[in-house]
Chains A and B, each alone.
Chain A
Amino acid sequence: MSTLTLGRVKHADGTARPRRNVDYVRVGLWLALAVTMLIWAMPLIFVIFTSLKSEAAIFSTSSFSLPTSAEWSNYAEALETGNLFTAGGNSLLIAAIKVPLGLLFSAAAAFGLSRIRFKHSKLVLGAFALGSMVPIQVALGPLFKIILDLGLLNSPVGVILPYIGFGLPIQIFILHGFFSAIPKEIDESVRVDGGGNWRLFWQIILPLSKPALAALFILDFVSTWNEYAIALVILQDQGAQTIPLAIQGFQSQFTSSYGPLNAFTIMSILPVMIVYLLFQRYFVEGMFSGAVKG
């Protein structure tokens, strides 16, 4: 397939590098990539295969063999026993509140740090940046105590608050970079028109930063959806569980029902996969805008 296209390219541009060995290198490279990709896809493929096999088929056929008939009962069973709807509802509720609210906090702080001049603003930014690097697990014990004292154990609010705190640093860092790149002359013109900081923030800076905000929104949704450690400590009742806790709960409860277990895994990662496929662009952009500028 690719060899054909490469061959065509070779004939098409007789000027560039028509040396034959270049093509072999390219074909070799492509094959190496294809093999690596297959290896990379294997865990997912293997889990999907298993989720569609009956117990008998799992025990008797090779892991690599295709499922002969789709065993959807695995999915039904996983749904029935796995607390998936409750956990999914909890995860959605938490993400729906945490993500926009956290992003608003981050954007406001990044604005204050990048467009308003004051002494030691760099120090404040550095203090925020530091938070993105410290492991959450350092704070688990004390967090548990705070949430316990607030009476918020097993409540969505009990995880939303720490999630907002721990989500701020990286977002402030990225948005600060983004806001700083917007020309300062705009601020002057807004102020000449008699507008204050709020107007600058709401009507100029935020609309101009839509791409970065969208990217961060998506990335933050995914990391909120996936978070395990804080949820593990705060949400101890089954009714309060989020998806990652449900996965682990299902796995420890039904250790050897491999079909439903893998069906459960598939269903639990499906929302994130769909979000990724729909918003692929943002994942890359989010990382580009934040991470790498010389």
Chain B
Amino acid sequence: MSKLTATRLETPPGPVTRHPSKKPLLKRIAGGGFIAALPFLAPALAAYVVFVIGPMVTAVRLSLFEWSGFNADPQVFVGFKNYVRLFTADPVFWTAMQNTIVWVLLSLVIPTSLGLVMALALNRPIFGRNLFRSVFYIPGVLAPIAIANMWRWMYNPNYGVFSELAKAWHIGDGSGVTFLSDPKVAIYAIFAAFVWQIAGLNMVLFLAGLQSVSKELVESARLDGANSWKVFRHVTFPALRPTVVVVLVLTIVHSIKVFDLVVGMTGGGPAQSSQVLALWSYSQSFLQHDFGMGNAVATVLLAITLVLVIPYLIWSTKGNED
């Protein structure tokens, strides 16, 4: 990860108040301190506080109110009522929660290991390497909503690729497949599109990480008679560890954000079986005009994210001192 080493270890000379500085005031400001940094930080801080941090705080606040989302209607404070409803009387919330968790767990394994295998295979001069890389990576630059439509078409029960294959190979009863309309399968069918979308992204990250593996070390391990697996296990993989951490964190972040794919492929159906937290929050707020419930789901989503991500942030700011 690009190191979070903002400062050197010695404490920075902040605006000095304790002892009179020998430098004139202007010099001090130009040389450092928060006052000097402020003009550079101000636009970003303003945009960030108003449009990112502010709304997150507001989401938590609104989760304690009952409100339709229309400015004409009043916001009524109800305390934790929305949460009680969510946890006890909203089965869809638990479906969404389960799907989100399954999604995170599956994506920590499948697209990550796939990306690693692709990277290892393409980390050597090989005929057509750039074409391979591009084809694997391109899905990652397409709009997820476009990917959703492509895959929806592939899953088409009458004319889609999968139905055709099932018929050709006599899988099932010969009438093709209906992945997206099967409540048991729909979420996994969407997940397949997700794997297609991000495996190449992980491949590129791993390829970047593989650049940092010392060639000498690999060579000398080979000369010592280590086989490919041993080299990977004792030389390559340890050097890849920081990359692995980055890929896993990014994967978790991507998984929790999944929204477009589900909207475009099933809209959360059939019978809410493929709901995920991000979409359920949106649906409650904007389709059912229940901002209280929608923001309660959003707050749960926020809490899950923070629990998963803050340890990593602390680790990366602390553990990477130059």
Interface residues of A (CB under 8 A from B): 1-2, 5-6, 26, 29-30, 32-34, 36-37, 40-44, 46-47, 50, 58-59, 62-64, 104-106, 108-109, 111-114, 116-119, 121-122, 124-146, 148-149, 161-162, 164-166, 168-169, 172-174, 176-178, 180, 191, 196-197, 201, 222, 225-226, 228-229, 232-233, 243-244, 247-248, 251, 258, 261-262, 265, 268-269, 272-273, 275-276, 280, 283-284, 287-294
Interface residues of B (CB under 8 A from A): 1-7, 11-14, 30-34, 36-41, 43-45, 47-48, 50-56, 58-59, 62, 69, 71, 118, 121-122, 126-128, 131-132, 134-139, 141-147, 149-154, 156, 159-161, 164, 196, 200-201, 204-205, 207-209, 211-212, 239, 242-243, 246, 249, 253, 256-257, 259-260, 263-264, 278-279, 281-282, 285-286, 291, 294-295, 298-299, 301-302, 305-306, 309-310, 313, 317
Enumerate 6 A-B pairs (CB-CB under 8 Å) in ascending A order: A43-B147, A46-B153, A135-B302, A138-B281, A141-B285, A169-B48
Q: How long is the Cα–Cα vector from A133 to B251 in the complex, in angstroms? A: 10
**B143 contacts across to A, CB distance below 8 A:** 225-226, 228, 243-244, 247, 268-269, 272
| CB of A82 to closest CB in B, whole Å | 12
Contact B142 A269 (CB under 8 A): yes
The interface residues of chain A, by DSSP majority, are classed as helix
**A106 contacts across to B, CB distance below 8 A:** 44
> Contact partner of B33 among A104, A117, A130, A146, CB < 8 A?
A117
Q: How long is the Cα–Cα vector from A172 to B153 in the complex, in angstroms? A: 38
Contact A116 B51 (CB under 8 A): no
Q: Taking CB as reference atom, which chain B residue is nearest A60?
A: B159
Knowing A64-B164, A291-B246 touch, does A135 contact B43 (C-beta < 8 A)? no
Contact B146 A244 (CB under 8 A): yes
Contact A164 B47 (CB under 8 A): yes
**A121 contacts across to B, CB distance below 8 A:** 6-7, 12, 37
Kindly count the residue-residue contacts between A and B in the assembled complex, taking CB atoms under 8 Å apart. Answer: 351
Q: How long is the Cα–Cα vector from A113 to B7 in the complex, in angstroms? A: 9
Most buried by B among A36, A148, A161: A36
| CB of A202 to closest CB in B, whole Å | 11
Contact A40 B53 (CB under 8 A): no
Contact B260 A229 (CB under 8 A): yes
Q: How long is the Cα–Cα vector from A33 to B14 in the complex, in angstroms? A: 56
**A6 contacts across to B, CB distance below 8 A:** 127
Q: How long is the Cα–Cα vector from A121 to B38 in the complex, in angstroms? A: 11
Knowing A118-B37, A140-B282 touch, does A247 contact B257 (C-beta < 8 A)? no
Q: How long is the Cα–Cα vector from A244 to B264 in the complex, in angstroms? A: 10
| CB of A23 to closest CB in B, whole Å | 13
Q: How long is the Cα–Cα vector from A277 to B138 in the complex, in angstroms? A: 9
**B152 contacts across to A, CB distance below 8 A:** 251
Contact B127 A1 (CB under 8 A): yes
Contact A137 B301 (CB under 8 A): yes
Contact B263 A165 (CB under 8 A): no
Contact B4 A131 (CB under 8 A): no
**B149 contacts across to A, CB distance below 8 A:** 247-248, 251, 261, 265
Q: How long is the Cα–Cα vector from A100 to B137 in the complex, in angstroms? A: 25
Contact A287 B208 (CB under 8 A): yes
Knowing A33-B132, A139-B52, A168-B47 touch, does A118 contact B154 (C-beta < 8 A)? no
| CB of B277 to closest CB in A, whole Å | 8
Q: Taking CB as reference atom, which chain A residue is nearest B143?
A: A226
**B141 contacts across to A, CB distance below 8 A:** 222, 226, 272-273, 275-276, 283
| CB of B196 to closest CB in A, whole Å | 7
Q: How long is the Cα–Cα vector from A119 to B71 in the complex, in angstroms? A: 42
13 further A-B pairs in the complex, CB-CB below 8 A; given A112-B40, A291-B208: A2-B127, A119-B34, A121-B12, A141-B294, A145-B58, A148-B71, A176-B4, A228-B260, A233-B282, A247-B264, A283-B204, A284-B207, A291-B246
Contact B301 A165 (CB under 8 A): no
Contact A283 B41 (CB under 8 A): no
| CB of B269 to closest CB in A, whole Å | 13
Contact A40 B135 (CB under 8 A): yes
**B281 contacts across to A, CB distance below 8 A:** 137-138, 140-141
Q: Taking CB as reference atom, which chain A residue is nearest B261?
A: A228
* Closest CB pairs A-B (n = 8): A177-B2, A165-B51, A112-B40, A139-B55, A117-B12, A109-B44, A142-B58, A142-B55
Contact B146 A247 (CB under 8 A): yes
**B62 contacts across to A, CB distance below 8 A:** 141-142
